[in-house]
Structure 1
Amino acid sequence: MNALKRVVGVLALGFWFSSFFAWKYFDAHGLRTPDLQSGKTYPLDTHGSVVYLTPHEHYFLYGLIIAGIVFFLLSAVFYFVGSKRP
């Protein structure tokens, strides 16, 4: 069970860091205006800097964020369930 706790914790950190770096990459390299031809229509606002993403990029980024949250919650559950033992 301890190995599973560690794996879930590492996955949570990995997905969180991946989502952070993907967000920063898209912010630095994205189009500043929407482009219907390329499908870049999903806005990504980073403190006033707006870039536009394709549906694939949008769902990829938010999938990483959601996966990080899910694995973080799983690691919290494993921590609290595992600490109840005498």
Structure 2
Amino acid sequence: MKRFAAVLLIALGLGSFAFHAGLMVYYSNVLPRDPRPEFGRTYPINNHGTVVYLTECEQPELTWLYFAAFAFALSGGVLFASNKKKV
């Protein structure tokens, strides 16, 4: 059961990271490259030299998704490593 939970957490981490990367690419393609305070787009984010501006809601969602990906993968890796059978 521990092994299943570990694999599930690792899969959630990899999936979250892939979703974060896809969202970054999407944002880089569709969001404005200059700040637009009238729409609330004042939070800059740099994606490999392409700076786009996010809203107050989009910025923390993207940040938390990034940290969640590492938290899931790390906790799954620790759980997987602690599940080794002892001789």
Give the alignment's TM-score, normalised by structure 2.
0.90
Q: Is the 8 A contact 1:27 1:44 kept in 2?
A: no
**Which runs of 5 or more structure 1 residues have no equivalent in the other structure?**
none
Equivalent in the alignment of 1:43: 44
Q: Which moved more, 1:18-27 or 1:72-81?
A: 72-81
Give the alignment's TM-score, normalised by structure 1.
0.91
Identity percentage over the alignment?
Answer: 29
How many aligned residue pairs are there?
Answer: 86
Partners of 1:84 and 1:55 in 2: CA distance: 47
Equivalent in the alignment of 2:60: 59
User: Which 4+ stretches in 1 moved above 3 angstroms?
Assistant: none
Partners of 2:12 and 2:5 in 1: CA distance: 10
| 1:20 maps to 2:21 | yes
Secondary structure of the equivalent of 2:57?
Answer: helix
| Residues 7-26 of structure 1, C-alpha deviations (whole Å, 9 max, x = no match) | 11110111000000011111
Partners of 1:55 and 1:85 in 2: CA distance: 50
Q: Is the 8 A contact 2:11 2:73 kept in 1?
A: no
Secondary structure of the equivalent of 2:38?
Answer: coil
- The alignment yields a C-alpha RMSD, in angstroms, of 1.2
The Cα of 1:84 is off from its aligned counterpart by 5.8
